[in-house]
Structures are given as structure tokens and as C-alpha cells.
């Protein structure tokens, strides 16, 4: 992982409080996910140069015409070793990665409603392998910094970054709660699919507010349920087989949380049920997915008897 371009980009800015986290001493303290093993894996990625990339619905890096069959097969084998691929889709030198989530569907739901990203510094909390970060670069964001504590997903990103050393999209192996409190200055912050995994959702929102610059915009995407303001579904054990879901709020509750945390101009986009065509098993994510968490494979209830997943995107600002 070469953080030198990121160090240069944030030095002298309000984001430079991140600098200590980019030092080898700090990175080597990461135990979760066997960080040293993944560093070794990344050092063994094929060394391929490309002059072509396109960050559309399928994030495309390189072209099959730029490599021979031996290199293609080696690359596909290495990328397969990074399974499961949750976010995507990608096409890497002709290797098609059909991820669990068709993330382009979510991107189309929000991209026309958010403030233009051109020239903005963006924080992507829960970024996974950086798919959305590439879409933000497509929209001419100046800099995108993703955060994700799950080392295998971060490794997927850095495997791709091998071929795009000059792309101003980065993913760091940290959660938001590990970021120094003095970090601020982001023009846009995305927190998508994160807050319902947090035991303290209000703290999460306050941390997001701290990192925004004056006039900055928050793009919050979350599971939601029907109910009055103040209502949250709190699963007894699991939700759609997921063990780490703590609170699923109603839309009114989300808006109330944001207001209590000092956000203004709160605006919800249309609620959208999650369909198995958007989240499903593939060869690149062969484990349990959405359909396995729904009762009888139907779309109305989870196997635990809760309402099936519905998501909403809420926009908010500090002015």
C-alpha cells in the first residue's frame, strides 16, 4: 500500500490529522483480518500497466487486449482468491467480477439528488472495496478517502489500486471511530449501509458531523422500517441472518436523529425495498445472500419474521 500520494494530498489541510494513521508503525498494529498476510498477497499481484479506465456502471480497469492469456489467467486466479466480492461490478483487464451487490442501482438512485462532487473532498464511510469511490471520481471529485475496518475488502481495493496508482481514490483499513476527532474538512460524506451496524448510532452521526466542513453534505443510506418517529426495530438476535444489526429506525426516527445532531435541510429520497436482483449470490460471492435471509424466498419477511429489507437515502447538511 503506497500512501505517499494521499499524504501529499492531505498535508496542510484540515484532513491532515489522518497522517499518523498512515505510518507503518500504526498500520502494523492492525491485528484484525491478518493484515500482514494480506500485505504479502498484494505484493504478489501481477505488475500490469494500463492506459485505459472507465468508472461507469461497471468499473473498468484496463482492457483484455493489453495482456496475454497467461497473464489473464494469473490475474483472474489472484482476484478469485479475494472472494467474496460484495461490491461492484468490475471488469479488470477483461476479468468480469460479478459482485453480490449491483451497486450501480444504488448509485443511480442517489447521483442526481446529491450536490455535484466536482472539486470536492469526499469521505466514504464503510467503503468496502472502493466501488463507490471510483464512481465519485467519475463525477470529478478531487479526492476520495474510504474507510473500512474489514481487511479483506480493503485488500480488494488495493489490488485494484495496483493498476491505478495515480487515481485519487483511497481506502484505509480503519473504522470511523478510529479516526482522530480533529479530522474535518470533507465537503461530502457518504455513510451507506453502516449506521444499523453501530451500537451507538447517535455517536456515529456526531462523528460524521465533526468530519464535515461548513456547508458540507451528508449522504446517509440505511435500512428502515415503517413506524412513528421514535420507533426502531431492535432484532432479538439476527436480521435476515445478519448478526450485527442493532437498530433499524423508521424514517421519522432517522430524521429526528439527524436534527438532534445538528443537521439541517434534511431530505429523504424514496424508500426502496431491496430485491434479490440487486443483492444475490454469484460466482464471486458464493455464500448466503439476501434470498437466504427471506422467509420461503419471498420478499415480504425475513426468516426471523421481521419486515423484509427496505432502504432509504437521506440527505442533510450543516447549513
pLDDT 10s digits, 225-242: 999 999 999 999 999 999
Higher-scoring residue by pLDDT: 178, 192? 192
Q: What does the pLDDT read at residue 319?
A: 82
- Does the pLDDT value for residue 299 go beyond 80? no
pLDDT tens figures, 163-174? 999 999 999 999
Summary mean pLDDT of the chain = 94
Q: Domain 4-317: give its CATH code.
A: 3.40.50.150
Closest alpha carbon to 93 in 108, 78, 76, 81: 76
Nearest to 190, CA basis, from 103, 281, 61: 103
DSSP assignment of 71-83, as one string? Answer: HHHHHHHHHHTT-
Model pLDDT, residue 43: 85
Residue 281 pLDDT exceeds 90: yes
Partners of residue 53 on adjacent β-strands = 61
Greatest Cα pair distance, the chain, in angstroms, is 59
> How many Å apart are CA 43 and CA 62, to the nearest integer?
19
Q: Where are the domains of the chain?
A: 4-317
User: Which cell goes with 295?
Assistant: 422467509
pLDDT tens per residue across span 196-215: 999 999 999 999 999 999 99
pLDDT band at 90 (very low <50, low <70, confident <90, very high): very high
The pLDDT value given to residue 181: 83
Q: What is the pLDDT of residues 3-54, one digit of tens each?
A: 899 999 999 999 999 999 988 667 766 766 677 788 888 888 888 988 889 9
pTM: 0.95
Cα 11 to Cα 250: distance, rounded to the nearest angstrom: 40
Whether the per-residue pLDDT at 261 is higher than 70: the answer is: yes
Q: Above pLDDT 70, what percent of the chain?
A: 97
Amino acid at each position: 500500500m503506497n500512501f505517499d500520494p494521499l499524504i501529499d494530498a492531505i498535508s496542510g489541510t484540515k484532513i491532515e490529522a489522518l497522517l499518523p494513521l498512515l505510518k507503518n508503525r500504526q498500520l502494523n498494529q492492525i491485528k484484525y483480518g491478518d493484515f500482514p498476510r494480506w500485505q504479502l498477497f498484494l505484493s504478489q499481484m501481477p505488475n500490469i500497466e494500463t492506459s485505459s479506465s472507465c468508472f461507469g456502471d461497471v468499473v473498468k480497469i484496463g482492457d483484455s487486449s493489453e495482456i496475454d492469456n497467461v497473464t489473464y489467467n494469473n490475474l483472474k486466479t489472484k482476484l478469485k482468491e479475494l472472494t467474496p466480492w460484495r461490491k461492484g461490478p468490475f471488469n479488470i483487464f477483461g476479468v468480469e467480477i460479478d459482485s453480490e451487490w449491483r451497486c450501480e442501482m444504488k448509485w443511480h438512485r442517489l447521483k442526481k439528488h446529491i450536490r455535484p462532487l466536482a472539486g470536492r473532498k469526499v469521505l466514504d464511510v464503510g467503503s468496502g472495496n472502493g466501488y463507490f469511490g471510483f464512481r465519485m471520481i467519475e463525477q470529478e471529485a478531487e479526492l476520495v478517502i474510504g474507510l473500512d475496518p474489514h481487511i479483506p475488502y480493503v485488500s480488494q481495493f488495493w489490488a485494484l489500486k495496483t493498476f491505478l496508482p495515480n487515481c485519487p481514490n483511497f481506502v484505509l483499513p480503519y473504522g470511523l471511530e478510529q479516526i482522530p476527532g480533529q479530522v474535518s474538512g470533507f465537503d461530502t460524506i457518504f455513510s451507506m449501509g453502516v449506521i444499523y451496524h453501530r451500537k451507538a448510532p447517535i455517536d456515529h452521526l456526531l462523528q460524521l458531523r465533526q468530519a464535515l466542513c461548513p456547508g458540507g453534505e451528508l449522504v446517509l443510506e440505511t435500512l428502515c422500517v415503517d413506524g412513528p418517529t421514535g420507533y426502531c426495530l431492535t432484532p432479538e438476535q439476527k436480521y435476515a441472518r445478519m448478526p450485527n444489526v442493532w437498530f433499524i429506525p423508521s424514517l421519522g426516527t432517522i430524521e429526528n436523529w439527524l436534527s438532534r445532531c445538528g443537521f439541517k435541510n434534511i431530505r429523504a429520497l424514496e424508500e426502496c425495498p431491496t430485491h434479490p436482483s440487486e443483492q444475490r449470490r454469484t460466482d464471486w460471492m458464493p455464500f448466503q445472500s439476501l434470498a437466504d435471509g427471506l422467509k420461503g424466498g419471498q420478499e415480504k419477511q425475513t426468516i426471523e419474521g421481521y419486515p423484509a429489507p427496505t432502504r432509504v437515502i437521506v440527505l442533510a447538511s450543516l447549513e
